Amino acid sequence: MMLAMKYTMADIAKETGVAKSTVSRYFNGGYVKDETRKRIKEVVDRVGYEPSEAARNLKSKRTKLIGVVAPTLKSTVTGRQMTEIDNFLKKKGYSTLILNTDHDPSREIEAIEHLSSLRADGIILIATNISEAHQRLQKISRIPILALGQQFRGGTSVIYDDYEAGFEVGEYAKEMGHEDILYIGVSEYDEAVGIKRKKGVLDGLGLPKGATKVNMLETAFSYEDARKVIRSSLKKHVPTLIICATDQMALAALKEATDMGLSVPDDVSIIGFGGYEMSELVNPSITSVRFENEKAGEVAAATLLSMIEEEPVASLQVIGHSLREGGSVKRI
Amino acid sequence: MMLAMKYTMADIAKETGVAKSTVSRYFNGGYVKDETRKRIKEVVDRVGYEPSEAARNLKSKRTKLIGVVAPTLKSTVTGRQMTEIDNFLKKKGYSTLILNTDHDPSREIEAIEHLSSLRADGIILIATNISEAHQRLQKISRIPILALGQQFRGGTSVIYDDYEAGFEVGEYAKEMGHEDILYIGVSEYDEAVGIKRKKGVLDGLGLPKGATKVNMLETAFSYEDARKVIRSSLKKHVPTLIICATDQMALAALKEATDMGLSVPDDVSIIGFGGYEMSELVNPSITSVRFENEKAGEVAAATLLSMIEEEPVASLQVIGHSLREGGSVKRI
DNA sequence: TTATAATGGGGTACCGGTACCATGTCAATC
DNA sequence: GATTGACATGGTACCGGTACCCCATTATAA
């Protein structure tokens, strides 16, 4: 007997002395006599044979493959979302193909094209921005695409209510008596976080239009960048409250403030968005909006499967959040 | 013209008025007249056709798919590793199929079997434990498997020198004058972290055999569990130094200590392993061993590709690390 | 001028499965 | 005794590509 080699159904059939179709029936259910079944099983076990999904897919047209296009594999939020997506899909017999784009929009398009040539059954796009390129792709591609975290106009999306979350934070800040505020956001390229969340905060603060007393800053999604931006700003002026568009930034702010000898929240308060585990673990723990990322992942996966089954789905689903008070905000 | 549907090479051929083989040549290189090429391109672009990888693979036997079996998608270390693996593989024209097991060994086996039926070209196993089941699978499966982070006896692995890293930490602790030490480790089920790292620390401390002055504790990989364990231990006795097998635990230790009113490092010092960004961001930043996870990911991917090409590879490759001093350790 | 490439393109047997049809038992029903 | 249908199995045309072989032209070399 030769060493482990690629066996095909025909090999198994020949070995067992039956026809290919009988072996196929053995694997897929159908009339096979107990005795024949036993004989096939014996051969299959002995050589360690498994039918090729690829060949099977060729006929059935379904790959049972779902692509997840993610901007990073290193963030708490994507991690939560991907874990639930994967869990849910696995339960339904699908495999998850995760493509990382490292925040590069062009790699996003590439990823979708790639998934399309792989004949993935569906795609979940954890995007930071939905461009016309996405819109076009979605129209051409016969494979269902669902956007998670950003609204996909003309498509299907599962999003968070960033405006509302921002609004609540703004209201909360006002209620706690803060008036000298520094807001640290991200590029407006990211519609959900960069635009809606920010607008929510400003509206929640109830500022008279035009006359903003809020200092606005912008930074990238990395700690390093955030720290640099925050440090130079704090050197010029220390507000009573820093609102950060993500917990990542909030943690950076906490670090910089403490390093400068400022006490949080006595000298300066901090609020973040994201509800990272880490935000609870620092001192003081950071007041932050926790989005239900796990539920979002599951809803996204479930919805995509419905789309694949060509069942009707809502084009927009909004997932909840809640403000979690830590010890990083002082009432003034 | 009908709406976006599945087009096949034969459709394109018919539309263009050439033979299937010519269209195939168009995609794969070969003699095609410029004018014919143009006509094909026109049709392909118009209907948005892309050749099916699945069908292509059936003949070529290569799926260009690499499976990565990961214990979690939420950890800094796995994130770093996966990102580099994915980057490297993408450059080489491979896709990365990430399967999450949520630390469940049985799902690991399932994942490998699944990848095998998908005819993945290779598998990277980020395991916490290599069991006989893995060994057996690897022997039966004709597809190359590489273990990352744990030594795969009888197979190929890329690992960190956990013993040496532990040893350095032990030596460092001794040099800083610490004698009353609490070590918080993980289950010995995890050979690299649970056994080697721990043994390294103990040996580095140079304790007389048998007579251990080190208090040993064990916890799971989660914050919650770590905090509980640490809290109850600190209530009984506060050592001068807590050595934590992962930064996750170190962060939990820092939190618990500060919450109890202890000052780090004045009342108690803390050392961790992992070199998380977060460990630098807390106050005080945590002294920790930084493993070169990125390099490990790249080496793992490169090695796996070599294995696929049937080139000779080292059965064991060890990736470096370095101790990064933060402010969490006081000299006594 | 003729042999020989190089170029351009058609035809078809696979790849490893599935689906569907055909054939043959054997026992229950008419 | 003939009909029927559940059971069991064989045979084969696909699925959507690639590979290889064959046949024309046209260009280049001998």
What are the pLDDT digits (tens) for A120-163? 999 999 988 877 777 777 766 778 999 999 999 889 999 999 99
What are the pLDDT digits (tens) for B209-254? 544 566 777 787 777 888 889 999 999 999 999 999 999 999 999 9
Contacts of B254 (CB under 8 A, 6+ apart): A281, A283, B264, B270, B282, B286, B328
Q: Does the pLDDT of residue A281 top 60, yes or no?
A: yes
Q: Do A5 and B80 touch (CB under 8 A)?
A: no
Q: Does the pLDDT of residue A283 top 80, yes or no?
A: yes
C-beta of residue A220 within 8 angstroms of C-beta of residue A226:
yes
CA distance A203 to chain B (A): 31
Q: Does B24 touch chain A (CB under 8 A)?
A: no
What are the pLDDT digits (tens) for B252-269? 999 999 999 999 899 999
Alpha-carbon distances, residue B4 vs A305, B47, B205 (angstroms): 20, 7, 68
What are the pLDDT digits (tens) for B104-144? 888 888 899 889 888 899 999 998 887 777 777 776 677 89
Q: Is the CB of A20 under 7 A from strand D?
A: yes
The whole-number pLDDT of residue A213 equals 64
Interface test with A, best of B47, B52, B251, B260 (most A CBs within 10 A): B52
What are the pLDDT digits (tens) for B46-55? 888 989 988 9
Cα nearest neighbour of A64 on chain B = B118
Taking contacts as CB-CB distances below 8 angstroms, the residues of chain A near B64 are none
Q: Does B283 touch chain A (CB under 8 A)?
A: yes
Q: Which two tokens stand for residue A5?
A: 């080699």
C-beta of residue A8 within 8 angstroms of C-beta of residue A20:
no
What are the pLDDT digits (tens) for A235-262? 999 999 999 999 999 999 999 999 999 9
Angstrom distance (rounded) from CA A47 to CA A65 = 27
Q: Does B95 touch chain A (CB under 8 A)?
A: yes
The whole-number pLDDT of residue A270 equals 97
B2-25 mean pLDDT: 83
Q: Does the pLDDT of residue A216 top 80, yes or no?
A: no
Q: Number of helices and strands (H, E) in chain B?
A: 13, 12
Protein-to-nucleotide distance from the CA of B36 to the C1' of D27, whole angstroms? 20
Contacts of B187 (CB under 8 A, 6+ apart): B194, B218, B220
Q: Do B117 and A53 touch (CB under 8 A)?
A: yes
Q: Does A36 touch chain B (CB under 8 A)?
A: no
Structure-token match 């809502």, residue found: A314
pLDDT, averaged across chain A: 90
B55-83 mean pLDDT: 92
A43-51 mean pLDDT: 90
How many residues appear in chain B?
Answer: 332
Interface test with A, best of B49, B56, B74 (most A CBs within 10 A): B74
What are the pLDDT digits (tens) for A54-94? 899 888 888 899 999 999 999 999 999 999 999 999 999 89
Cα-flanking dihedrals φ and ψ of residue B82, to 5°? Answer: -65, -40
* Per-residue confidence band for B332, with pLDDT thresholds at 50, 70 and 90: confident
